[in-house]
Amino acid sequence: MKVKLKIKKMLLLAAKIGIGSSVAIYIAELLHLQYATSAGIITLLTLITTKWGTLRLSVQRLVSYGLSVVVCWLIFRLVPSMWIEYGIFLFLVVLLTEWLGWRNTLSVNAVIGTHFLTTQNFSVPFLMNELLLVVIGITIAILLNLFHINNAHENGIIRRMRKVESTMKQILTELAGYLRRSEKDNRVWDDLVQLESHLEEYVELACEYHHNTFQSHQNYYIAYFEMRLKQCGALHNLHSEMQRMREMPKQASVVADFISSITKYVTEMNDPQRQIADLEKLLDELRSEPLPQTHEEFENRAELYHILLDMEEFLLYKKRFVEEINETQFRVYWQKEIQGK
**Per-residue pLDDT tens over the stretch 134-144:** 999 999 988 88
Is residue 215 a contact partner of residue 52, using CB atoms and an 8 Å limit?
no
User: Domain 150-340 carries which CATH code?
Assistant: 1.20.120.940
Q: What is the pLDDT of residue 234?
A: 92
Q: What is the pLDDT of residue 341?
A: 43
Q: What is the pLDDT of residue 283?
A: 84
Is residue 89 a contact partner of residue 109, using CB atoms and an 8 Å limit?
no
Q: What is the pLDDT of residue 148?
A: 62
Mean pLDDT is lowest, of 80-84, 196-200, 289-293, for 289-293
Report how far residue 188's alpha carbon sits from residue 190's, in angstroms, rounded to the nearest whole number: 6
74 vs 30, more confident: 30
- What is the average pLDDT score of the chain? 83
The dihedral over CA atoms of 80, 81, 83, 87, expressed in degrees to the nearest 10, equals: -40
Report how far residue 162's alpha carbon sits from residue 179's, in angstroms, rounded to the nearest whole number: 26
283 vs 262, more confident: 262
Average pLDDT rounded to a whole number, residues 317-334: 70
Q: What's the first-to-final CA gap in the chain, in angstroms?
A: 20
Q: What is the pLDDT of residue 51?
A: 65
Mean pLDDT is lowest, of 48-57, 166-175, 202-211, 312-321, for 48-57
Is residue 113 a contact partner of residue 26, using CB atoms and an 8 Å limit?
no
Provide the percentage of residues in the chain whose pLDDT is more than 70.
Answer: 82
Task: Give pLDDT tens digits for 257-273.
Answer: 999 999 989 988 888 99
Average pLDDT rounded to a whole number, residues 329-333: 52
List the domain boundaries for the chain.
Answer: 2-144, 150-340
Average pLDDT rounded to a whole number, residues 21-45: 93
Report how far residue 268's alpha carbon sits from residue 88's, in angstroms, rounded to the nearest whole number: 56
Q: What is the pLDDT of residue 329?
A: 56
Task: Give pLDDT tens digits for 160-210.
Answer: 999 999 999 999 998 888 887 755 556 888 899 999 999 998 998 888 777
251 vs 135, more confident: 135
276 vs 4, more confident: 276
Nearest CA to 162 among 338, 339, 310, 337? 337
Mean pLDDT is lowest, of 77-81, 111-115, 194-198, 231-235, for 77-81
Residue 5, pLDDT above cutoff 70: no
Residue 221, pLDDT above cutoff 60: yes
Provide the percentage of residues in the chain whose pLDDT is more than 90.
Answer: 34
Residue 36 φ/ψ, nearest 5 degrees: -60, -30
